[in-house]
Structure 1
Amino acid sequence: MKKLLSTGALVLACATAHANPISWGFSFTGFYDSVSDSFLPQETIAGSFKGNDLNGNGILEKDELMTLVVGELDYIACAGPSNPYYQCGATSFTFSPDAGLHFAVGSYSSDPEGWVGGGRLITTGDQHYAYDFNPGMTSERHLYWTSDTTLTMMSQAPEPGTWAMMAVGLLGLTWRARRARR
């Protein structure tokens, strides 16, 4: 019984190490700017996400995310503190190495009187819309995805704790297997 329990614990340690969240970095490069009526080949929207494919379907979905950072803002973490003067969050997200990366995120803020504010809406494959307003001016920016917009994905290495837990589990299983052969 003792042998069975210790083997089970070691297998669980290996499985837990494997079940840790995956992390990816991304960048979309090259957008059409409607204001300047030109393609901007160096314009980039970059970020990262971390999540775990909990249902094992090979697709990481919005409800499986821990973080979704686009630019400087984490659209998963910011959704909690939303209020009438600040709205933020992700409305959709899917990622798989085969199907690619698709998401829609947005944020909006203003003062209680509505004099000063701004926001941004990003829908991959469609557009990035950003705006700011105050009594003295209003500015808007529309960037559109084109067939020349490229996506670059960068797989993030697992955290050191993940590697350590997996190594301990594998060493333990090796040790257990060697003892069992004697």
Structure 2
Amino acid sequence: MKKQAAAALLAMLCSVAAKADQTYWFKYKGFNDSAGRFNADATVAGYFTANDADRDGVIRLDELNSLVTNGYSFTGCNPENPVVHCGTSAFTYVIGGALSFEGGYGVSDEMYVQSTTVSTGDFYRSYSDNAWGGAGYYHYFTWTPQTQLTISTPVPEPATYGMLATGLLAVGAVARRRRKN
């Protein structure tokens, strides 16, 4: 009976860990600016949360849960909100390798407009303007062969620690049982 209970607990923890989302932090650094000059300090950074549900080592758009770039969410906008718009039209991350996505975020009403759009490997554009005559901004970067991508290793989810603890307990129980015999 104890073996069956332990097996059921282990199976439950495995299924929870298999479904756990992972958060990946990314940073692209080094772009050409709008005048075509290389700027080594120009950065496009953010994070995404996803689950490689089919376990093929590639996270695609249908496995993506959230994407935030330079502080703007490219997912999860309320479609009922006529002022805020966001979306991700393409997404692929080869785990341990290349990241590619297209998406954007925007706010617009009769007094204010702000927009951020990214097409990795091509361009990053962010701008704002308002009807009050205040200072807006415009940033436009293009990818170059010198543009570098870094992605941080995901931090293990709590379910992973649960599986580790269960495994260590199982190994300890087996070792203790062998000592008694």
- Relative to the length of structure 2, the TM-score reads 0.82
Whole-angstrom CA distance in 2 between matches of 1:131 and 1:115: 15
In structure 1, what is the equivalent of residue 99 of structure 2? Answer: 101
Is residue 21 of structure 1 aligned with residue 16 of structure 2? no
The equivalences for 1:133-144 within 5 A come to 133-135=129-131, 136=133, 139-144=137-142
Task: Give the CA deviation at 1:67.
Answer: 2.4
Is residue 165 of structure 1 aligned with residue 162 of structure 2? yes
Whole-angstrom CA distance in 2 between matches of 1:31 and 1:74: 22
CA root-mean-square deviation: 2.5
Deviates more, 1:14-23 or 1:45-54: 14-23
Task: Give the CA deviation at 1:19.
Answer: 4.3
Identity of aligned residues (%): 30
Whole-angstrom CA distance in 1 between matches of 2:95 and 2:161: 26
In structure 2, what is the equivalent of residue 152 of structure 1? Answer: 150
In structure 2, what is the equivalent of residue 76 of structure 1? Answer: 75
Query: Could you list the runs of 5+ residues in structure 2 that have no partner in the other structure?
Result: none
The equivalences for 1:33-182 within 5 A come to 33-34=33-34, 36-77=35-76, 79-80=77-78, 83-97=81-95, 99-111=97-109, 114-135=110-131, 136=133, 139-159=137-157, 161-174=158-171, 177=174
Contact between 1:88 and 1:108, CA under 8 Å: does it hold in 2? Answer: yes
**Once the two structures are superposed, what CA deviation does each residue of 1:80-132 show, in whole Å capped at 9, x if it has no partner?**
36622210122221101365100112111122xx3321211111001011222
- Relative to the length of structure 1, the TM-score reads 0.82
**Once the two structures are superposed, what CA deviation does each residue of 1:35-66 show, in whole Å capped at 9, x if it has no partner?**
x3311111011111121111222111122123
